[in-house]
Structure 1
Amino acid sequence: MAQRAWFITGVNSGFGREMTEQLLECGDRVAGTVRNLGSVRDLTDKYGDRFWSAHLDVTDTSEIRTVVDAAFSAFGTIDVVINNAGYGLFGAAEEFTDEQVVHEIGTNLLGSIQVVRSALPHLRAQQHARIIQISTFGGQAALPGGSMYHASKWGIEGFSEALMAELAPFNIGVTIIEPGGARTGFRHGSAQLAPALDAYAGTPAAFVRGMLADQTHLSPGDPAKMATIIIGSVDTTPAPRRIVLGSDSYQIIVNALTQRLADIEPQKDLAASTDFATTLDGPR
């Protein structure tokens, strides 16, 4: 199998770190971005010039463009771009500070969009590539206490799905990854909470606070297995539109889609009733 070059955001921990280590062990090259270069120094020491790293804050659009251009300059060709950097922000919608809202959307949604936009001139010139967007079951289902996180993930899934058709003429495939709970540092490491308002104590939106505080509950997903499937998806042609990882993710998404159809299907006649009346000769 030919060796590939990958660009991955957020390679210091979680899926980003797991994918990077697996790829480097296989002999591939990885251009990885982090906010703290010291967190990946061990990878540079072990893998040398097959691991290229750069500081990147994905809320800084000008830095994104500079880093993406530098990565393509360093490797010449990049076969796969993986948008992985992101974090969860939880609480009732009213509880968030304005700064938290802006940063969550700027990181998970706008940051991912700008990484893709920065890479596309290079990828189109190559006439081949894959773009992989790490999302979550929360990109198709919504739970109380997750409004801002869901807003970012539903948004990036819509963006990615539109890209699938836009980029097909250039032989660029796009895949959305929807993991469930996995034993990474997401829940007890990077997740952030809104300042609590007493009004929401004991309501559905407060459930997430107890979930994040519970250090005894172990997520079912194995990050190593998930990373292997994500990496292997690049060998599938055409690119899978979505990959659901984890039994919890599968069930939550199926339940959400089933309920959405149940809500919409009885409205067929109502929907048609708002059309212009027509005759054989056309609209009246």
Structure 2
Amino acid sequence: MPTTWFITGTSSGFGRLLTEHLLARGDRVAATLRRPEALQALRDRYGDRLWLARLDVTDTAQVHRVVTDAFKALGTIDVVVNNAGYGVFASVEEASDEQIRQVIDTNLLGSIHVIRAALPHLRAQGHGRILQVSTAGGQTTYPNFGYYHASKWGIEGFCDTVAREIAPFGIGLTIVEPGATPTGFGGSLATAPVMPEYEDTPAGEVRRALADGAFPLPNDPRKIAEAMIDLVDSGAVPLRLPLGPDTYKDVRASLVARLAEHDAHRDVALSVAVREESA
């Protein structure tokens, strides 16, 4: 039986690849994006199996309206994919206030509002899956991506909580963490005027590596899209799905280091507990 998907950010990258793959195999897709005309060729090819809507996830009222319209039009939506994203490549001092707001409004608040808009419908139908597209940078960090990390660490904490709240309703949630992948996202990163003070710091080193093409992109975007689809098909509901050798290596190293630091402070952590007076 065909599966019905609701996907944000479908003009390019993982959203576009997911849409193309799902339609080709016979599923239905509610594809949302800022410029629906970008998918008109797919609409012409697949007809009513592709439902299109204009959506800017930073517009909360529009999010609720479009999600409701999609459920009304399609009857049932089995999988909601939060994929729309925005990135700022700059040190914390270099980014503008407007860029900071945009990355938080898109990646964090936009994703939150899509989930909040979908949950009443998913609860009413008694089943569903949510795939929250995050990144290796939702569990580890790299210089010049501070605000991107703020949004991704934030949405991962939110989703970690939501997953436990909605499990009793038959709704599963998985945070998908792709590594560095040539999807065109890097080319669309917002930048800011460079401060010379950061040239000889890790921020400057990463900036030069990206400019020189030395920043590795070891992952196949089509394989990542297929892995997301395979996860849904399998019925498995892990809280997190790391995708990419860089994700696996970098996130594991970060977790091991954090655990070691955590354990190093065990004695002082326990020392501040209230002690009961002996009788």
TM-score, normalising length: structure 2: 0.96
SS of residue matched to 1:278: coil
Equivalent position of 2:267 in the other structure? 269
Question: How far is 1:35 from its partner?
Answer: 0.8
Q: Separation in 2 of the partners of 1:242 and 1:201?
A: 35
CA contact (8 A) 1:200 1:206 kept: yes
Question: How far is 1:279 from its partner?
Answer: 4.1
CA contact (8 A) 2:86 2:102 kept: no
Equivalent position of 2:173 in the other structure? 174
The 1:202/1:216 distance shift into structure 2, 3 A limit, reads closer
Equivalent position of 1:39 in the other structure? 38
Question: How far is 1:42 from its partner?
Answer: 1.0
Amino acid at match of 2:198: Y
SS of residue matched to 1:143: coil
The 1:259/1:172 distance shift into structure 2, 3 A limit, reads same
CA contact (8 A) 2:17 2:222 kept: yes
Please give the residue correspondences for 1:1-284 in structure 2 after superposition, counting only pairs within 5 Å: 2-188=1-187, 190-215=188-213, 219-279=217-277
Question: How far is 1:200 from its partner?
Answer: 1.2
Q: Separation in 1 of the partners of 2:205 and 2:103?
A: 20
Structure 2 residues without counterparts, runs of 5 or longer: none
Question: How far is 1:217 from its partner?
Answer: 5.7
Amino acid at match of 1:228: E
CA contact (8 A) 1:91 1:206 kept: no
Question: How far is 1:209 from its partner?
Answer: 2.2
Amino acid at match of 1:73: K
Amino acid at match of 1:3: P
Structure 1 residues without counterparts, runs of 5 or longer: none
Aligned residues with identical type, % of pairs: 52
Deviation track 1:32-58 (CA, whole Å, cap 9, x = no partner) reads: 111112211111011111001111111
CA contact (8 A) 2:3 2:28 kept: yes
SS of residue matched to 1:141: coil
SS of residue matched to 2:18: helix
Deviation track 1:138-161 (CA, whole Å, cap 9, x = no partner) reads: 000012211100000000000111
SS of residue matched to 2:53: strand
Count, aligned residues: 279
Q: Separation in 2 of the partners of 1:238 and 1:228?
A: 15
Q: Separation in 1 of the partners of 2:278 and 2:19?
A: 62
Question: How far is 1:237 from its partner?
Answer: 3.7
Amino acid at match of 1:112: S
SS of residue matched to 1:185: coil
List structure 1 segments (4+ residues) > 4 angstroms apart after TM superposition. Answer: 215-218
Q: Separation in 1 of the partners of 2:9 and 2:76?
A: 20
The 1:41/1:216 distance shift into structure 2, 3 A limit, reads farther
SS of residue matched to 1:105: helix
CA contact (8 A) 2:174 2:237 kept: yes
Q: Tell me the C-alpha RMSD between the 2 structures.
A: 1.4
| Greater mean alpha carbon deviation, residues 212-221 or residues 167-176 | 212-221
TM-score, normalising length: structure 1: 0.95
Q: Separation in 1 of the partners of 2:210 and 2:60?
A: 31
